[in-house]
Structure 1
Amino acid sequence: MKITVENIAQMIDQSKLDPYVTEKEIVKFCKEVIEYNFVAAFVLPANLSIAKKELKNSSVKLGTGIGFPFGTTTTKSKLQECEEALKLGVDELDTVINIGALKSENYKYVYNELKQLVNLVAPKPLKVILEVSYLTPEEIKEGTRIGGEVGVEYVKTGTGYGSRDTNLFDINLIAEAIDDNTKIKAAGGIRDIYTLIEMYKLGVRRFGLSRGPEIIEQFKEYFAGEIEI
């Protein structure tokens, strides 16, 4: 299969999720996302209005995090965050799983929370963030299975705020447990095109990045804009 620079760009959710980001930086960020034709721009909820305005004449989707970055807010709070984000014009939502509930094997809580969120935002896609750095291999698989059962569009590895980077072992665990209707999104410490390509080979179809432009430029330089996989 041939992968082009355009294909890579359309797999990247470019993110600007620093708590200290300024309005001017969001404007600059959106212009860069449009320039590189990334599939989506992810910003914090407080910056959605600015980003929506900047992206209005483009094909770039607008995304935000829910219960971000720790997943420790209540189900009610997450539902309210989703409602407000939808009113602000968001296209995609990435919610952090209740990590403590998952680790406590309170799978009913995890299932019920995610199911309510999926139902609320439909037909908009919901991605569930596992935060793999805090989970055992079996917890990663169980979180993946629950995500598939409730109908999330993607199971995502992390927020970028975890205790370590996402690695290929994490992707393999998710790939082993995921169903045919659910896709994988990788995020957290993906800094070069080689890592991205290896994760793609394992089944990843979205990448949450803060360094999207750098990775696109690496792809152009190292592979002349296309590669056979």
Structure 2
Amino acid sequence: MSELLHTLTRESLAQYFDHTQLAASATEADIEALCRESLENRFKMVAINPVQVPLCSRLLHGSGVHVGAAVGFPLGQNTIEEKVFSAGKSIENGAQEIDYVINITALKSKDYAYLEREMAALVAVCREQGAVCKVIFENCYLTGDEKCAMCEIALAVGPDFVKTSTGFGSGGATLDDVRLMKRQVGDKIKVKAAGGIRTLDSALQMIEAGAERIGSSASVKILGEFCRLRQE
């Protein structure tokens, strides 16, 4: 087991987590449970679809738990203008963080200018309204060169995070991808690992590899596993 087991506290580990409920079948009760669990465990953020932002914002108001909206989710196949509008409206409704999916078609076409315009537009709307901007690459569909190209664009534009995955693609976060992204962006941009992280061991490995945020729907289970091992 990772050395982090002995250096992290329950509170510090909880702050790595974006507690996630993005299923199309999620009910209002599911979203309320997500917020309740996040309050009880002091997670960093709830990750939800834009339509649920007003409810989460009301339930979490003044708590310190952020509301995060997924934009262009999960395929990224929206125009820049649509993504900007969705991000801006989500922030207006109470979101403090935006996770948006890049246009993978543009990346496959090597249209790096488009991707830079898209990223700059999303970063700008977040900056203007004081929100955190995370860029989802969806690495399961990308080559190593494509991942590096996106990191280079991110270094030029300056989002807050680059992120591995939506959790809805053909694969999720891998240690190799987290290491690659961290190596490319260094300390200038943070890395978020998401998709398939369901155990304490996998979460700690992602943190050791360089992830500063973890997206997971299993956050409560992971934190519970930590507390049992630490006997807290």
Q: After TM superposition, give the deviation of residue 139 of structure 1 in Å.
A: 0.8
Structure 2 residue runs without a partner (length 5+): none
Structure 1 residue runs without a partner (length 5+): none
Match of 2:168 among 154, 161, 166: 161
- Quick one: distance in 1 between partners of 2:203 and 2:174? 10
Match of 1:206 among 206, 213, 217: 213
Match of 2:74 among 44, 69, 77: 69
Q: What percent of counterpart residues are identical?
A: 34
Is residue 16–residue 44 contact of structure 2 (8 Å, CA) maintained in 1? yes
CA offset digits 1:113-135 (Å, max 9, x no partner): 10011111113110000000000
In the superposition, relative to structure 1, how do residues 104 and 224 fare at CA in structure 2: closer, same or farther (>3 Å)? farther
**Aligned counterpart, 1:187:** 194
- Quick one: distance in 2 between partners of 1:151 and 1:203? 18
Given the two structures, how large is their TM-score scaled by the length of structure 2?
0.94
Q: After TM superposition, give the deviation of residue 55 of structure 1 in Å.
A: 0.7
**Aligned counterpart, 2:48:** 43
Is residue 15–residue 43 contact of structure 1 (8 Å, CA) maintained in 2? yes
3-state secondary structure, aligned to 1:17: coil
1:60 and 2:60 aligned: no
Q: After TM superposition, give the deviation of residue 169 of structure 1 in Å.
A: 1.1
Count of matched residue positions in the alignment of Structure 1 and Structure 2: 225
Given the two structures, how large is their TM-score scaled by the length of structure 1?
0.95
Q: Which amino acid aligns with 1:186?
A: A
CA offset digits 1:65-109 (Å, max 9, x no partner): 111111110001001101211110110000101111112111110
**Aligned counterpart, 1:220:** 227
- Quick one: distance in 1 between partners of 2:32 and 2:185? 37
3-state secondary structure, aligned to 2:68: strand
3-state secondary structure, aligned to 1:93: strand
Q: Which amino acid aligns with 2:91?
A: L
RMSD across aligned positions (CA)? 1.2
Q: What pairs up with 1:11-160 in 2 under 5 angstroms? A: 11-122=16-127, 123-160=130-167
- Quick one: distance in 2 between partners of 1:223 and 1:106? 49
